[in-house]
Structure 1
Amino acid sequence: MTTGLILVLVFFILVALNVPIGFAIGLSTLAALVAIMPFDPATTTMAQRMVAGLDSFTLLAIPFFILSGYLMGAGGVARRLIDAAKGLIGALPGGLAVVSIISSMLFGSVSGSAVAATSAIGSFMVPAMKKEGYDAPFAASVTTSASILGLLIPPSNVMIVYAVAAGGVSIGALFLAGYGPGLLAGLALVIAAVIVARKEGYPVSERLPFKDSIRTVFPAIPSIAMLVIVVGGIVSGIFTATEASAFAVVYSLILGVFVHREMAWKDLPGVIVKSAETTGIVLFLIAASTGMAWMLAYSGLPGAIAAALLTISDNPLLLLLLINVVLLIVGAFLDITPAILIFTPILLPVAVALGISPVHFGMILIFNLSIGLCTPPVGTVLFVGAAVGETKVAAMIKPMIPLYLAMLAALAVTTAVPALSEALPRFFGMM
């Protein structure tokens, strides 16, 4: 318990000193190890645990999906998704806001990255919304909040991370489980955006003829088809998640170079370098977080926390409410990948003791921590949205409030209704 407390204390001190989160995780774990053994064995043990944390065939899917996302971004997918959404729903009240939500949700799902969705969709939609008379903070807020939905709708890198942290949960089951919460959250954001747009009197786009609306959809079909092929292939057993990620890279490359013809071969090295940089950051976070999770388990702190939570009440909904509050706070300070790796071994035993399946709990965990990505003070996606929208984070807080409320309402339904997450995995025999 003492080593666990040392780890937690050093970690929060380093975070308060603005030490990068990956280094804060690694150094705090090393400090806890040094408290129980000499320095040389401590560093060796830390290195071994970090390497062991990456020694997983399942994790190989992450760099492939990251590369696929960058290829999609460079290959003109964002603009085609925006055009399709605009043609179908642009004439609704607050139509451009709804288009931004749908486009961000679709691009986030095909790219697997909330940051990429915010950057790609925001660079198109925020200027268009400002030109039509929308306030810049609201335009940036809509894109920012919707981009996190791609983490709930597969293929999602964070679902793969959770599957590894939870110890053998089916990635296919998690992918299927994400559709219900993801689509519900998207619907909630659309309703909130329409209400705000009507209240503020934002303009409505001109309705396109039916034939023209349908025509805008066809260029986006190859991009959306990747979701069907990847998830369908995993669910049907045609290929594993890792094989699906490799297929996604080839598919994205063909789409950008030969179908859309918006990416030249000379652009490929730059795309690969960006992908490698992102992959390096993500895998370092996974390695450091795996070491911390092992150290926490060794200290007995997760078991103590789980036992303490179970003594508070035997009401599952009350404990889930408490877990949601804890995760929302954690998400505001920690990036989603290390948060999943650290808190899954702490909270999953509590959830299982309450009769909650690992798949349902995974959706609750990912949903909470995704909201944290657009929550100050450390919300990565929030800062990217402010930069893309050329506005300040402080100016975005007020227009974000109704969007936060919409996401929290969807989270509450996801938490209280297990069938929302479990229906599809059970239907396909994956639970």
Structure 2
Amino acid sequence: MLDPFTLSIALIVALTVTGLSVGLAVMSGSFLYLILRGLDPSLATESMLQGLFNGYTLLAIPLFILAADIMNVGSLSDRLLRFCQALVGRFRGGLGHVNVVSSVIFSGMSGSAVADAVGMGKIIINLMTKDGKYPPAYAAAITAATATVGPIIPPSIPMVLYALVSDQSVGFLFAAGLLPGLLMALMMAVMNYFIARRRGFPTDESVSLAELPRLTFNAVPALMLPVILLGGIYSGVMSPTEAAAVAALYALVISVLFYRSVSIKQLYTALLNSARSTASVGVLIAGALTFEYVIAREQLARSISVLISGLDLSQAGFLIAINVLILLLGCVLEGGAILLIIVPILIPAVEAMGIDLLHFGVIVVVNAMLGLITPPYGLLLFIVSNITKEPIGRVIREVWPFIVALLGALVIITFVPDFVLFLPRLLGYGG
């Protein structure tokens, strides 16, 4: 007869395959485990509620989601895009470079790959496909790929989730993601340039120098958001959660009062969308906190740590194995599930191998974001396919060069820890 833990895992997999959300599937499996073990199911509920009530940092997630949704319904995205066009549109493959730069800027505000693809992505795809400048599948592919930068450059919702399971500083995690995020953007810009030259993609219409001050002035209030947010965190004035609240309020003020681009109906839509997204993330977190009790009782983390130690892997070999594992999991699981359910099991082994947890966090988040654009279940691929009405197969064919570029960035991020830890150390991190 199968043991309770095996049966609980089987139930989780079966429910996930049938389409139930991962969070609810994990909760169901956890409750089954407790019942089969003869334990009080309320233990799982207690574990979940304690994790949620004590997770002050988790409040940053709904606030960052709200800030992104407000920016998407207002004119911030449009103004930022015009500013990016003025900066890099004149180069070969100009709108592809605009796509990259706009994702870098927008990621400093939203912290979400999906928010980037849905908000800024719709506008840039329309620009790229207008008058047949770029094939729709290519516009969709580069939009999906550049959106992966969103959760790497601070602020970052996945980094907050990693902080929850690893007990690391959100501020230091944000700092650790900045240079890797810029490296990913650079690799994609280089790839776009070579593809543009090979396929004869056009430059965008050049913006005269006389127009640049006006476009910059229009974009400055939006560009100030990441400055205020990160400046507040690293100066010690605000905690990450307080900074998220300021970001949401600032997005609301400049959209409603300064740009006057958000109606009451649009604001209601933004609040409704953010509530739905928050509920979705909340269910996933609740499921992970419930499963945490099961993992602890089964001593699963310790067993895996002992197993890996017995394999006698070098640190480099271990990192390669972790990268391959999470990349494969990313093909079938969403990033949040990987961070909240898989990563806690691996952390003891990571510590035993002497790998810095801040460095490991960036590796894991980058891998999880790559999962958003890898078939068969890359969420961003389905989002951009729906926007362009292109068959998913065409989008997948066009996205492969950008996956290769991002894998190149991942190699540097994995094997040059000083590159990742440079900024955190400047800010006082002792790792």
2:89–2:205: 8 Å Cα contact kept in structure 1? Answer: yes
Counterpart of 2:269? 270
What is the CA distance between 1:109 and its match in structure 2? 3.1
CA deviation string 1:383-427 (max 9, x = no partner)? 111111221211111111100001111111000011121111110
Secondary structure class of the residue paired with 2:211: helix
Q: Name 1:255's counterpart in structure 2.
A: 254
Paired letter, 1:157: I
User: What SS does the aligned partner of 2:87 have?
Assistant: helix
The answer as to whether partners of 1:105 and 1:148 remain within 8 angstroms in 2 is: no
Q: Partners in 2 of 1:266 and 1:12 — Cα distance? A: 40
Q: Does 1:236 align with 2:235?
A: yes
Contact preservation (8 Å) 1:234, 1:244: yes
Which residue identity is paired with 1:50?
Answer: M
1:14 correspondence with 2:15: yes
* Distance (Å, rounded) in 1 between the aligned partners of 2:423 and 2:175: 6
Q: How far apart in 2 are the matches of 1:310 and 1:222? A: 52
**Range with greater deviation from structure 2 (138-147 or 309-318):** 309-318
Give the distance between the partners of 1:218 and 1:87, measured in 2 at CA. 12
**Alpha-carbon offset, residue 99 of structure 1:** 0.6
* Aligned-partner SS, 2:149: helix
1:91–1:204 Cα contact (<8 Å) kept: yes
Q: Which residue of 1 aligns with 2:403?
A: 404
- The corresponding residue for 2:293 is 294
Q: SS of the counterpart of 2:210?
A: helix
User: In the alignment, is the contact (CA less than 8 A) between 1:137 and 1:396 conserved in 2?
Assistant: yes
Alpha-carbon distance in structure 1 between the residues aligned to 2:237 and 2:108: 21
Measure the CA separation in 1 of the matches of 2:5 and 2:302.
11
**What does 1:335-350 correspond to in 2, within 5 Å?**
335-350=334-349
Q: Distance in 2 between matches of 1:363 and 1:179?
A: 10
Identical positions, percent:
33
Q: Which residue in the other structure is 1:26 paired with?
A: 27
Question: Are positions 1:370 and 2:369 aligned together?
Answer: yes
Conserved 8 A contact 2:171-2:240: yes
Per the normalisation by structure 2, the TM-score is: 0.95
**2:208 matched to 1:204?**
no
Aligned partners of 1:281 and 1:206: how far apart in 2? 41
Q: Which moved more, 1:248-257 or 1:8-17?
A: 8-17
Alpha carbons 2:65, 2:110 under 8 Å: kept: yes
How is 1:87-166 mapped onto 2 (pairs within 5 angstroms)? 87-131=86-130, 132-166=132-166
Encode CA deviations 1:27-60: one digit per residue, 9 max, x unaligned: 122222222016xx22x22222221221111111
Distance across 1 between alignment mates of 2:127 and 2:244: 33
User: Are the counterparts in 1 of residues 148 and 372 from structure 2 also a CA contact under 8 Å?
Assistant: yes
Q: Residues 206-256 of structure 1: CA distance to partner in whole angstroms, max 9, x if unpaired? A: 322233234323322221211111111111110111111111111111110
Q: Is the Cα–Cα contact under 8 Å of residues 3 and 299 in structure 1 kept in the other structure?
A: no
Task: State the partner residue of 1:184.
Answer: 183
Of 384-393 and 14-23, more deviation after overlay is shown by 14-23
Q: Structure 1 residue 268: deviation in Å?
A: 2.3
TM-aligned CA deviation for residue 266 of structure 1: 4.4
**What is the identity, as a one-letter code, of the residue corresponding to 1:35?**
L
Unaligned runs of 5+ in 1: none
TM-aligned CA distance change 1:210 to 1:271, over 3 Å? same
Change (3 A) 1:378 1:285: same
TM-score normalised over the length of structure 1:
0.95
In structure 2, C-alpha distance between the alignment counterparts of 1:216 and 1:389, rounded to whole Å = 28
> Aligned partners of 1:308, 1:66: CA distance in 2, in Å?
39
**Correspondence for 1:380:** 379
Match of 2:50 among 49, 52, 58: 52
Matched residue of 2:119: which SS? helix
Kept in 1, the 8 Å contact 2:335–2:368? The answer is yes
Whether the 8 Å CA contact 2:381–2:396 is kept in 1: the answer is no
> Please, which moves more after superposition, 332-341 or 232-241?
332-341
1:224 to 2:223 alignment: yes
* 1:81 matched residue in structure 2: 80
Q: 1:129-159, CA deviations, whole angstroms, 9 ceiling, x for partnerless residues? A: 1124211111000001111211001111111
Moved more, 321-330 or 350-359: 350-359
Distance 2:352 2:213 in 1: 50
Matched, 1:62 2:83: no
Asked if the contact 2:109/2:247 (under 8 Å) is kept, the reply is no
Write the distance in 2 (CA, Å) between the matches of 1:175 and 1:82: 24
SS in 1 for 2:327: helix
* 2:112/2:151 contact within 8 Å kept: yes
4+ residue segments displaced more than 4 Å: none
Which segments of 5 or more consecutive residues in structure 2 lack a partner in the other structure? none
Paired residue type of 2:353: L
SS state at 2:373 partner: coil
Distance 2:205 2:261 in 1: 28
Supply the distance in 2 between the matched residues of 1:310 and 1:7 (Cα, whole angstroms): 27
2:262 counterpart SS class: coil
Query: CA separation in 1, counterparts of 2:311 and 2:218?
Result: 54
- Contact 1:159/1:171 (CA < 8 Å) preserved in 2? yes
> Could you tell me which amino acid in structure 2 is paired with residue 407 of structure 1?
L
Distance 1:209 1:394 in 2: 39
